Amino acid sequence: DAGITQSPRYKITETGRQVTLMCHQTWSHSYMFWYRQDLGHGLRLIYYSAAADITDKGEVPDGYVVSRSKTENFPLTLESATRSQTSVYFCASRVTPYEKLFFGSGTQLSVL
């Protein structure tokens, strides 16, 4: 029962580099989400997806790209990392609307 896994757990990169955070779920949940957690801001939605090949912007999408070619994977790419993208990133999934979200353990990203 793997659930939802994120990789890597920790990542250090430099400004301007491209970095991809991975998210994989084993439940075949339709809905997947990416959030970032920052002090003073709580959890802010970056992108979400209702199904494979369907994605939509959240509250803070600028500087991020997502794809969902397979139901179980929802990678988040920072095309050119900036220091302001230093954060803890959480992936989440759920089966249907009106269901709870299941979160991964998070990826702590530092952009130097």
Partner 1 sequence: DQQVKQNSPSLSVQEGRISILNCDYTNSMFDYFLWYKKYPAEGPTFLISISSIKDKNEDGRFTVFLNKSAKHLSLHIVPSQPGDSAVYFCAASVRDDKIIFGKGTRLHILP
CA distance 71 to 41: 29
Site for partner 1 in 5-44 (CB under 8 A): 31, 33, 35, 40-44
Measured in whole angstroms, how far is the alpha carbon of residue 107 from the centre of its chain? 9
Closest separation between CB of residue 16 and partner 1, Å?
28
Binder of partner 1 out of 90, 93, 109, 112 (CB under 8 A): 90
Angle at 84 between CA 58 and CA 10, to 5 degrees: 90
Retrieve residue 74's tokens. 């929802």
Binding interface with partner 1 (CB under 8 A) = 31, 33, 35, 40-45, 48, 50, 56, 58-59, 90, 92, 96-98, 100-106
